[in-house]
Amino acid sequence: MNAITPMPRPSPVAATVDLDAEGVQHGFLRLPYSRDDSAWGSVMIPITVIARGNGPTALLTGGNHGDEYEGPIALFDLARSLRPDQVQGRVIIVPAMNYPAFCAGTRTSPIDCGNLNRSFPGRPDGTVTEKIADFFSRTLLPRADLVLDFHSGGRTLDFLPYAAAHELPDKGQEQRCFAAVAAFAAPYSMKMREIDAVGMYDTTAEDMGKVFVTTELSGGGTSSARTVAIAKRGVMNVLKHAGIVEGVPETGPTRWLDMPSGDCFTFAEDQGLVEPCVDLGDAVRAGDVIALIHPVGRTGQTPAEYRAVLDGVLAARHFPGLIKSGDCLAVVATVEDAI
């Protein structure tokens, strides 16, 4: 007997734009969300599609985490300014993927506590956050050749400004990803390692063979003129690199960094008050004290010393002044001349 394979359940998300039409369209991904203040209500995720003629498709996203701002600023700006006559191919822009989280200014969704970047590939019959992930997995990612997903550190982390890609089993795909990172031309470019890549948008896109670029562009739950300028220039550079927008990427000096092993991460084993001993971008040697954690329950206590395990630069740090056991305190990345 043949087993009957059930048809995959359709996504409940309705796009109010035609993803495959030419011209410029501003609209929404409308996701039904029934609740006390709106029985037949919806989450309305803004989307822009700009298309002309034949060419590759770039899928540009921000707000995967709701408290990271360079991406949404650069992408709302691009959505209102990029003209179809500048485009050969298609650009799909979603400035705030996890829109409920973005509106709340939080990393995760206030509706279901969903961390969108740990919810992939998602489910059409899951939570609101899982339904967003599923729509990206089955409707938007398959249309894309190149995916640029903006991140920053959010309220609890702060990073050197970098574009990044991952080491991949397909070395040709990996090379195309790092070529797009180089084109982005952030002040730093990272060979990025994840603490746990399960459920990430990155992994889903990479497993589909896409060219995937991500970023970390500072953090702390805010943005700066400098890092917004990096984001705006970077997205145009990537579109030029892909041949979707005419012109040559405006490159500048970039420093290639690597996260060669789990030793690059330092996790707090204490709670208390963080005293930074080096700042982002500072050179550190293995054994250097990078931060102290002061106990705050009483005076007269000795702070815990946290030391670098690798030679490199401080690439990320815990942002708030207080820390808990288990929080990521710091990331030390090694410096490469080039890849």
- Least distance CB 59 / Ca ion (angstroms): 17
Identify the CA nearest to 295 among candidates 276, 273, 275, 323.
273
191 binds Ca ion (CB under 5 A): no
- Least distance CB 105 / Ca ion (angstroms): 14
Reduced to 3 states, what is the DSSP secondary structure of residue 40? Answer: coil
151 binds Ca ion (CB under 5 A): yes
Structure tokens at 169: 């089993």
Distance CA(177)–CA(211), nearest Å, equals 5
Which helix (H) or strand (E) element contains residue 190?
A: strand 188-192
Considering the complex, state which of residue 216 and residue 258 has its C-beta at the smaller distance from Ca ion: 216
Q: What is the x/- site pattern for Ca ion, positions 96-135, by CB under 5 A?
A: ----------------------------------------
DSSP 277: S
- Least distance CB 102 / Ca ion (angstroms): 12
Considering the complex, state which of residue 88 and residue 218 has its C-beta at the smaller distance from Ca ion: 218
Considering the complex, state which of residue 65 and residue 255 has its C-beta at the smaller distance from Ca ion: 65
**Only segment of 14-22, 151-159, 218-226, 329-337 that touches Ca ion (CB under 5 A):** 151-159
- Least distance CB 106 / Ca ion (angstroms): 12
Considering the complex, state which of residue 65 and residue 90 has its C-beta at the smaller distance from Ca ion: 65
Determine phi and psi for 185, rounding to 5 degrees. 60, 50
Distance CA(35)–CA(10), nearest Å, equals 22
**Only segment of 122-130, 143-151, 187-195, 225-233 that touches Ca ion (CB under 5 A):** 143-151
Q: Which bin fits 139, alpha (ψ -120 to 50), beta or left (φ > 0)? A: alpha
- Least distance CB 90 / Ca ion (angstroms): 26
- Least distance CB 154 / Ca ion (angstroms): 6
How far are the Cα atoms of 51, 210, 231 from residue 224, in angstroms, in the given order?
31, 30, 11
Identify the CA nearest to 157 among candidates 189, 129, 112, 195.
195
155 binds Ca ion (CB under 5 A): no
Considering the complex, state which of residue 65 and residue 131 has its C-beta at the smaller distance from Ca ion: 65
Neighbour tally for 293: CB within 10 Å: 24
Determine phi and psi for 44, rounding to 5 degrees. -110, 100
Neighbour tally for 85: CB within 10 Å: 9
176 binds Ca ion (CB under 5 A): no
Q: What is the dihedral of CA 242, 246, 252, 257, to 10 degrees?
A: -10
166 binds Ca ion (CB under 5 A): no
- Least distance CB 157 / Ca ion (angstroms): 8
Considering the complex, state which of residue 244 and residue 259 has its C-beta at the smaller distance from Ca ion: 259
- For the segment 265-304, give every residue that binds Ca ion (CB under 5 A): none
193 binds Ca ion (CB under 5 A): no
DSSP 78: H
- For the segment 36-75, give every residue that binds Ca ion (CB under 5 A): 65
DSSP 202: H
- Least distance CB 202 / Ca ion (angstroms): 11
Considering the complex, state which of residue 61 and residue 88 has its C-beta at the smaller distance from Ca ion: 61
Residues that bind Ca ion (CB under 5 A): 65, 151
